[in-house]
Amino acid sequence: MTATPAEQALLEHYVKKILAAPVYELAVRTPLQAAPALSEALGNTILLKREDLQPTFSFKIRGAYNRLVQLTPEQRARGVITASAGNHAQGVALAARELGISATIVMPLTTPQLKVLGVRNRGAEALLHGESFPFALEYALDLARQTGREFVSPFDDPDVIAGQGTVAMEILRQHPGRLDAIFVPVGGGGLIAGIAAYVKYLRPEVCIIGVESQHSACLQAALVAGERVTLPSVGTFADGVAVAQIGAHGFEVCRFCVDEVMTVSNDQLCAAIKDIYDDTRSITEPSGALAVAGIKQYVARTGAHGQTLVAIDSGANINFDSLRHVAERAAMSPVCSPSHSFFARGDGCPLTQP
């Protein structure tokens, strides 16, 4: 990656914000755990960044707390409102409770009940509206204008991005040796922007590879078009990443820091959930398994061997009654093949060139 002076200044800005983010007042440092069975099967060293072990079972607590803790006293007094498919919602609910802030969260009607209960059990108001995240987002923005509450974006905010970037800070400290690529789930782009900014500033040789559901591939569409685009519809199986448009702040970083973006199918996600379970005995939600599904597809496409690859295991908020479907589809999942779509920048990661 060759960054312009302006791009380098942007990365430096985010690195400073990441290093200063007080996320550990609420979030925890999660382990970077080896996945021995998956590593043996793929012929590479696979490491899982266990963000499913956060207090809200998702990395989202990092960005939510970093945003809320920096509100002014006047903003805190008015309260906050956000829209979320569930994981950011629980992060905002917990952060707001700890900081004594009133919180209202708009969630799609399709949100898993587990996530709705997670919000209400943490003291926030959960309003269900719309069939998918874009509808919930529009309604939340209207409510923010009407009530004067501060809107807390789930991904399109520099403080949220910086909070999520602390994931990368931990990875580089936990694994100072050879690291070939980090695979990152992509929804609205806050996580991958934070990780990419930190890693490309300090370890530019490490590839940053985004993994999207093929039913909500808004970053890949934006990179192909050279600008942010809005998808006409999104699938909700991977509800945590069911976003129709990449965030503006995130895209500003991703357009020059992300080496490649690939898409995976629902069946591949189900198979990846099983892979993670086999190695960790933990059950990941579909969006949380995106990175592992991406690694499997990458190895199948490139024949990579002997590399050190990190997957962000981003969340574990899955309804129990969904597990039968996941198990059935995992058993039927086809072997990954190069036919699935991917986008690589012209000067992108040399590891992933077909």
Question: What pLDDT, in 10s, does the model give residues 30-86?
Answer: 999 999 999 999 999 999 999 999 999 999 999 999 999 999 999 999 999 999 988
Decide if 233 is catalytic. Answer: no
pLDDT in tens, 212-265: 999 999 999 999 999 999 999 999 899 889 999 999 999 999 999 999 999 999
At 103, phi and psi to the nearest 5? -135, 135
**Domain topology for 5-55+158-332:** Rossmann fold (3.40.50)
* Residue 150, SS3 per DSSP: strand
The position carrying tokens 């829209």 is 83
Dig out the tokens for 272 from the structure.
């990846």
Q: Is residue 45 within 8 Å of residue 309, measured between CB atoms? A: yes
Dig out the tokens for 271 from the structure.
């198979």
The structure's pTM equals 0.94
Decide if 296 is catalytic. Answer: no
Whether residue 332 is predicted with pLDDT greater than 70 in this model: the reply is: yes
Q: Are strands 260-264 and 207-213 parallel, antiparallel or unpaired?
A: parallel
Question: Given this model, what pLDDT does residue 132 score?
Answer: 85
Neighbours of 197 (CB within 10 A): 29
Taking the chain, what is the end-to-end CA distance rounded to the nearest angstrom?
Answer: 18
Q: Which residues neighbour 203 within 8 Å (Cβ) at sequence distance 6 or greater? A: 172, 179
Domain range annotation of the chain:
5-55+158-332, 80-148
Distance of alpha carbon 80 from alpha carbon 285, whole angstroms = 27
Question: Given this model, what pLDDT does residue 113 score?
Answer: 87
In this structure, CATH architecture of domain 80-148: 3-Layer(aba) Sandwich (3.40)
Amino acid identity of residue 270, one-letter, is C
Neighbours of 59 (CB within 10 A): 34
- Bridge-partner residues for 48, per DSSP? 33, 311
Q: Is residue 254 within 8 Å of residue 246, measured between CB atoms? A: yes
Neighbours of 269 (CB within 10 A): 28
Q: Are strands 342-344 and 260-264 parallel, antiparallel or unpaired?
A: antiparallel
Dihedral class, residue 60 (left if φ above 0, else alpha if ψ from -120 to 50, else beta): alpha
Mean pLDDT of all residues belonging to the chain: 93
Whether residue 352 is predicted with pLDDT greater than 70 in this model: the reply is: no
Q: Where are the beta strands (DSSP E) in 84-197?
A: 103-107, 125-128, 150-151, 181-185
Question: Which one is catalytic: 60, 115, 200, 274?
Answer: 60
Dig out the tokens for 143 from the structure.
């409510």
Question: Which one is catalytic: 213, 216, 265, 314?
Answer: 314
The reply to whether 5-55+158-332 and 80-148 are identical in fold is yes
